[in-house]
Amino acid sequence: MSKTNITAAELLELMNSGKQPVLLDVREKIEFHTYNVGGINVPLAQLPDYIEDAGHNKNDQLIVVCKAGLRSRTAQVLLQQHGYTNVLNLTGGLIAIQKINNSL
């Protein structure tokens, strides 16, 4: 079975390595503008429309993020139902990334 989750530490390591993963932030726009780690902001309610038009390769790695990991888990399932094969959910959401950054 392929991996379905990515930890905050793994995501930060990936981003710090110079690779720019495709991040989908499924929070509302105001949340995204308040704090984000980059990526494309597609609120969960708009995701079904976005999926149809996005043009992502369905085998490319997509990482879905939200505040705590719940909305992104829903987005992950939705993407998988649309044929995306390599979708990772950020465990603990952006809160987990903030905890790491605050401890540095």
pLDDT, one tens digit per residue, over 18-66 is 887 899 999 999 999 999 999 999 999 999 999 988 888 999 999 999 9
Please write down the HEC assignment for all residues of the chain: CCCCEECHHHHHHHHHCCCCCEEEECCCHHHHHHCCCCCEECCHHHHHHHHHHCCCCCCCCEEEECCCCHHHHHHHHHHHHCCCCCEEEECCHHHHHHHHHHHC
pTM beyond 0.75: the answer is yes
Domain boundaries, the chain: 5-64+79-99
CATH entry, 5-64+79-99, from 3.40.250.10, 1.25.40.390, 3.40.640.10, 3.40.50.620: 3.40.250.10
pLDDT digits (tens, 9 = 90+) for 84-96: 999 999 999 999 9
Length in residues, the chain:
104
